[in-house]
Amino acid sequence: MTKEIDIKITTSPVTDFEDLHNKVDSLLAECNIKMTSLIEEYNTLLQENDKLDTHINEVNTVDLDSKFTELTDYVTDYSQ
Q: Where are the alpha helices (DSSP H) in the chain?
A: 17-48, 64-77
29-57 pLDDT per residue, tens: 999 999 999 999 999 988 888 776 667 78
Q: Calculate Rg over the CA atoms of the chain.
A: 17
Residue 1, pLDDT above cutoff 70: no
Q: What is the pLDDT of residue 31?
A: 93
CA-based nearest residue to 27, from 61, 60, 74? 74
pLDDT band of residue 11 (cuts 50, 70, 90) is: confident
pLDDT range class, residue 78, cuts 50, 70, 90: very high
- Give the domain ranges of the chain: 17-77
Distance CA 27, CA 46 (A): 29
Of 3, 5, 26, the closest CA to residue 14 belongs to: 26
